[in-house]
Structure 1
Amino acid sequence: MAKTSKKTSADVGVDLGMADKQRKAIAEGLSVLLADTYTLYLKTHNFHWNVTGPQFNSLHLMFEGQYTALALAVDEIAERIRALAEPAPGSYSAYARLSTIKEADGLPPAEEMVRILADDQLAVVRTARAIFPLADEAGDEPTADLLTQRMQVHEKTAWMLRANLPV
């Protein structure tokens, strides 16, 4: 999980109505979610740039919509970590260490790009779902709401990606 650095003056004495241990555990889980989301953003953007083949136009546009949504999600997740008075990871090395999503090897064919992204969307769902019990136990409704929204988006996106694959 994420290592926290020195607190800022804005973080000292923050009482959110949950134990520090709970708050830190939630922030650590959200740091993994942030890393997964950023890694998926980068991979989706890469596939958007490099997709080829008969489905080029539809996949190019679909990937663009997905990476745009992921860029907004990255900010939302990072800001929730900060609201919990913990530092949000923001480097490639931190994301590489934290993320459950792996980089793509080279540039796969379009159909494989779709399959990879669908699997990665579900990986983000699993990461979010793993944090949910921590938020629930702490009575952290804002984090639970964020996680619910992220799971809904990623489950729907995975379904839409899978719908592009042959049966």
Structure 2
Amino acid sequence: MTAADLKTPTDLKSNETKSVAQALNAALADSYALYLKTKNFHWHVSGPHFRDYHLMFDEQAAQILGTTDAIAERVRKTGNTTLRSIGDIARHQTVKDNDADFVNASDMLKELRDDNLALVESFRAVKEAATQAGDNATEGIVDDWTDQAEERAWFLFEAARGA
């Protein structure tokens, strides 16, 4: 089997869907990077608001992971291929990893807020590419992902005000 065997039938023009797929794959890489960072902070948060932050990070990580399959499947529905490995994710991600031995809770909140806002920008790039390609399905579904990322950023911002 070759990559050509994976070609999904679509009425969208292949040169236009390539830009949509590239934007989706970038958003997918950032989603995985943000998921892992959120889980890392979930596992390592400490301090007086431990329970609240621990639970919020877990809920947010689950929501982020929940979008990854939809993003990847959207790439495939446009007749393209998606990310294949951790290395592939690393080559495409713009969200920076945090491998520090200790991060205080306040910094976790702020970093995740900023990363979610960066993901919003990634989703806006998907929306723009989808609009230009006439891909109304991607154009519509990305609005939900954007709203979810904006809500996560809002919650993180509000939580950080008291941290």
Instruction: Specify the TM-score bucket, using the shorter chain as the normaliser.
Output: over 0.9
Q: Distance in 1 between matches of 2:12 and 2:46?
A: 50
Residue 133 (structure 1) aligned with residue 139 (structure 2):
no
Which residue does 2:63 correspond to in 1? 69
CA distance in 2, matches of 1:166, 1:9: 52
What is the Cα deviation at residue 131 of structure 1? 2.1
Q: For residue 96 of structure 1, what is the aligned residue in structure 2? A: 90
- Runs of at least 5 residues in structure 1 that lack an aligned partner in the other structure: 1-5
Q: TM-score, normalised by structure 2?
A: 0.93
Q: Count the aligned residue pairs.
A: 160
Shift of 1:90: 2.8
Deviations 1:112-136 (A, max 9, x none): 0000000000000001101212211
Unaligned stretches of 5+ residues in structure 2? none
| 8 Å Cα contact 1:7-1:86 kept in structure 2 | no
Q: Quick check: which one's helix share is greater?
A: 2
Residue pair 2:131, 2:139 contacting (<8 A) in 1 also:
yes
CA RMSD of aligned residues (A): 1.4
The equivalent residue for 2:49 is 55
Equivalent of 1:7, from 3, 10, 16?
A: 3
Residues 44, 66 of structure 1: 8 Å contact kept: yes
Q: Which residue of 2 aligns with 1:17?
A: 11
CA distance in 1, matches of 2:93, 2:130: 20
TM-score, with normalisation over the residues of structure 1? 0.90
In the alignment, structure 1 residue 114 sits paired with structure 2 residue 100: no
> In structure 1, what is the equivalent of residue 81 of structure 2?
87
Runs of 4 or more consecutive aligned structure 1 residues displaced over 2 Å after TM superposition: none
SS in structure 2 opposite 1:24? helix
Q: Deviations over 1:8-52 (max 9, x none)?
A: 52416x2x2222111111011100000000000000011101100
Match of 1:3 in 2: none
